[in-house]
Each structure stands twice: as C-alpha cells, then as structure tokens.
Amino acid sequence: MVKRRVHVAAAAIVSADQKKVLIARRPSNVDQGGLWEFPGGKLAPYETGLEGLKRELHEELGVEIIRAQPLIRIHHEYPDKHILLDVWQVHEFAGEPFGREGQAVRWVPMEELVKYPFPAANLPILRAVMLPTEYLITSEEADEARFDAFLERALKEDNIRLVQLRAKALDEAAYIERAERALRMCREHGASLLLNGEPGLLEKVDADGIHLTSERLMQLDRRPISEQKWLSASTHDQIQLSKAAVLGCDFVTLSPLRTTPSHPEVAPIGWHDFQQLVERAGMPVFALGGMTRFDANHARAVGAQGIASIRDFWK
C-alpha cells in the first residue's frame, strides 16, 4: 500500500506571559476524535505552511495570526498515512479564540500539558513547546565564586531558563557541591538544570535532568532516567541522532555548526546539512558550536529549537 502523504500546519499559541498554551479537542466523529490537539489542519495544494495555518486558525478559532515563528517539524507514520506536522509558535494574534466548529478550546499551563491525551505524533511537540530557545552550557570555571556570579548574571540578565552544568575538571564531590548551588539558583529563577554526567547523579542531586555525552549516548540501550526528568544528549551526525531517538531523548544538541576555538580540527556541519539533519530528527534540536543569541532566529527558521552556547552567556 502506498501511504497518503499529508502535510498539516498546527499552532502552539502561547499566552502573552508565556505560561499557557491553547489546545483544542478534536470532535469525537473525526480521525483521532476526542484527543486534544494543536489547532490547525491540512494544507491546500497551493499553500505554504504559514498560509495554511492562517486560514485554519481563522476557520477553527476565529483569530488572525500577527506574529509566528517555526517551532518544530515532525514526520510521523500512522498506519494509513505519512504525516508532516509543521508546527508554528504563535506569539501574537488578534481576536478572542473560541471553538468555531463546536470543539472545546482551553488555555493550559505549560506544565499541565502532559496530562492531556494527544495523538501519538505530538510528544516531541509538547517538549518543544515547553523548552526555551536558548540552552546555556556552563563554562569550565576553576573559581566557585566566579561560577556563581556568572550563572546568576545569565539567569537574571539574559533570562536563561535551561542550563546544563558541564564541569569535566571537577571530581564527583566538587561537581555535586557546585550542582547543589546551581540548582538553588536555577530554582529561584524558574530555570531547569540538567547535569552533564552519569544518570546516577540524579540520585545525589535532584536536578531536572541529565545531559549525555555522545559517547555515553551510544553505549546505552534504553532510557536511563524516568520520563519525569529531561534527557538530552550531544550529537554530531545522523547515527547519533537516530540513537537519541531510539533511546527516547527529549531533545539534543547538534554540533559543531561552525568551527570553534575549542575544537579547531573538527569540520563544521554548516546550516545546509544542519537543516537536513534536523528535518528528520523527530525531536527538538539546539544548534551548538560558535552560536550566539543573534543566530537564534535563523536556527528556528531552519527547524531548530534554538541555540546552545557557552561563551555567549558566560561573561
């Protein structure tokens, strides 16, 4: 059987305070009826994703999109069709959304999204909605007071909400001590902290997740931590990306986008190949390697979640 290919545009409409997202319930008499979804629908042959989305949101919710940005693209095989979900984050719109087709519509706090039943293809979209555009990776820092001051500044002034504690030079005791302090600072600012290291570290520090090195990623054969925590991993190519998907990673970094002073010998991926890799990743991907905040919009435009960086946030 040749499967139908269906291109769908859908919207994660985010409230002005960024804390809630709008979801709708599919009527019980249609495909995947009764499940919740991000409003949207199938593109007409002549439409681009954003054009189709504008029409669908008008038809389904009575709102007009003012400002939207690509969020994530998911290819998913249903038994009867191959579906491309082209998801946009809508930051600004006109009108008061309501279910014009009689469907239930609800503003839901980000952290409660996981309680709603969605179609099988939607899990990575939920992750993408919950994740910010910027992922701070901490710098190797010998001095603890300097470490605290730098992290505090990034949380306060750069509004960082996702942090990976990377400290290869520290032994475990020193790492845990630093992690406890970093966790307190992150909690104070509503940021999530991932520990770069062995999954077992979470039993010692109750952080929000684990970031795996690509080497560790390739050794594992199942997800090493609970679904309640974030699992991210470093990847550099197609093989590692596939492994991350099999393992059930929530998101990854893909590097090096550009050549960096720390790894001058490694060939950069470049935006063209990066886009191709991200298209099939099936999860949020942060561009890493010579990235700054000024690259975030371009990263989004080619399908990434955003950028990850050490240097741009560490000053």
Ligand X SMILES: Nc1nc2c([nH]c(=O)n2[C@@H]2O[C@H](COP(=O)(O)OP(=O)(O)OP(=O)(O)O)[C@@H](O)[C@H]2O)c(=O)[nH]1
8 binding ligand X? (CB under 6 A):
yes
Helix (H) or strand (E) holding 12: strand 4-14
Q: How far is the CB of 23 from Mg ion (least distance, A)?
A: 12
Contact predicate 263/256, CB 8 Å = yes
For residues 108-127, which are near ligand X according to CB under 6 A? 119, 121-122
Residue closer to Mg ion by CB (options 26, 166) is 26
Q: Which of residues 18-77 bind ligand X (CB under 6 A)?
A: 30-32, 37-38, 40-42, 56
Q: Name the maximum alpha-carbon separation found in the chain.
A: 63
Residue 175, contacted partner among Mg ion, ligand X, none, CB below 5-8 A by kind:
none
CA distances (Å), origin 178, targets 134, 175, 235: 22, 5, 25
Q: Are strands 20-25 and 105-109 parallel, antiparallel or unpaired?
A: antiparallel
Which of 65, 83, 90, 212 forms a contact with ligand X (CB under 6 A)? 83
AA identity, residue 307: I
CA distances to 53, 70, 73, 121, 254 from 21, rounded to whole Å, are 16, 15, 18, 18, 27
Instruction: For ligand X, give the closer residue by CB, 22 or 85.
Output: 85
Residue number with CB closer to ligand X (37 or 134)? 37
Out of ligand X, Mg ion, none, which partner does residue 42 contact, by CB within 5 to 8 A per kind? ligand X
Residue 215, number of CB atoms within 10 A of its CB: 9
Q: What's the rounded Cα separation, in Å, for the pair 32 and 41?
A: 13
**CB closest to Mg ion, residue no:** 41
Question: x/- site string to Mg ion, residues 35 to 64, per CB under 5 A?
Answer: ------x-----------------------
> Nearer Cβ to ligand X, position 40 or 306?
40
Burial-class residue 106 by CB neighbours within 10 Å (0-12, 13-18, 19+): middle
Give the nearest distance from C-beta 118 to ligand X in angstroms. 6
Tell me the β-bridge partners of 25: 36
Interaction site with Mg ion (CB under 5 A): 41
Interaction site with ligand X (CB under 6 A): 8, 10, 30-32, 37-38, 40-42, 56, 83, 85, 119, 121-122
